[in-house]
């Protein structure tokens, strides 16, 4: 087995030490730090970007909050304006309604008074017509010329009974 040939050992050890030490120095001094640098700078960059993104997110959230507050204020404002307008309109319409009612009431009572007067007048006219008719009927049937005031009294009494 060539591996057990001790005469080759010193040469192998020598060249292993040389190549291994050179490789170690190249890696430890130059290449590994550079790889580490890249990885670190990338991690830092990502962390920074995330931080930036979080800051922007917080900012936008604050902006949304102020916008929402403004919106809520405007909405409340509009609500009060609407309420006031509604109240004013209600008062106005109530006043108009009241005036209309008063006028209608006045009209109705005036009309009632007129109707009452007309009825009185009709009653009086009915009494005189009935008296005249009773006098004429009495004269034609029994030839009595009744006194007009007596007839009127009787008619009035009869009308009052009915």
Partner 1 sequence: MGLFISSAQAAENHSPLEQFEIRRLVPLDVGGVDVSFTNSSLWMIVVLAAITFFLSVAVQRQALVPGRLQLTAEMAYQFIANMVRDNAGSAGRPYFPFIFTLFIFILFANIQGLIPYSFTVTSHIIVTFSMALVVFVGVTIIGVVRHGARFLTLFVPSGVPIALAPLLVVIELISYLVRPITLAVRLFANMTAGHILLKVFGGFVVSLGGFYVIPGIAPLAVTVALYGLELIVAFLQAYVFAVLSCLYLNDALHLHH
Which residues bind to partner 1, rule: CB under 8 A?
Answer: 1-5, 7-20, 22-24, 26-28, 31-32, 34-39, 41-42, 45
Q: Cα-Cα-Cα-Cα dihedral of 139, 144, 146, 151, to 10°?
A: -60
Q: Which is nearer to partner 1, 14 or 67 (CB)?
A: 14
Closest to 138 in 3D by CA, of 151, 123, 124: 151
Q: How far is the CB of 14 from partner 1 (least distance, A)?
A: 4
Q: Which is nearer to partner 1, 41 or 93 (CB)?
A: 41
Q: Which is nearer to partner 1, 3 or 80 (CB)?
A: 3
Q: How far is the CB of 2 from partner 1 (least distance, A)?
A: 4
Q: How far is the CB of 57 from partner 1 (least distance, A)?
A: 23
Contact 123, 155 (CB under 8 A): no
Q: Which is nearer to partner 1, 28 or 110 (CB)?
A: 28
* Chain position carrying tokens 């959230």: 61
Q: How far is the CB of 66 from partner 1 (least distance, A)?
A: 36
* Chain position carrying tokens 């920074």: 48
* Chain position carrying tokens 């960059």: 45
Q: Which two tokens stand for residue 37?
A: 């640098």
């Amino acid at each position: 087995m060539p591996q057990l040939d001790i005469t080759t050992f010193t040469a192998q050890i020598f060249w292993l030490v040389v190549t291994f030490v050179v490789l170690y120095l190249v890696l430890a001094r130059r290449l590994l730090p550079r790889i580490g640098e890249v990885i670190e700078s990338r991690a830092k960059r990502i962390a920074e970007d995330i931080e930036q993104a979080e800051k922007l997110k917080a900012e936008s959230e604050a902006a949304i909050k102020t916008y929402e507050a403004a919106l809520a204020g405007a909405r409340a404002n509009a609500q009060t304006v609407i309420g006031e307008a509604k109240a004013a309109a209600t008062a106005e319409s109530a006043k108009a309604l009241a005036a209309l009612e008063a006028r209608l009431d006045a009209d109705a009572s005036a009309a009632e008074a007129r109707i009452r007067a007309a009825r009185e007048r009709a009653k009086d006219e009915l009494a005189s017509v009935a008296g005249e008719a009773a006098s004429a009927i009495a004269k034609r049937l029994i030839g009595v010329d009744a006194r007009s005031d007596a007839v009127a009294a009787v008619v009035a009494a009869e009308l009052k009974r009915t």
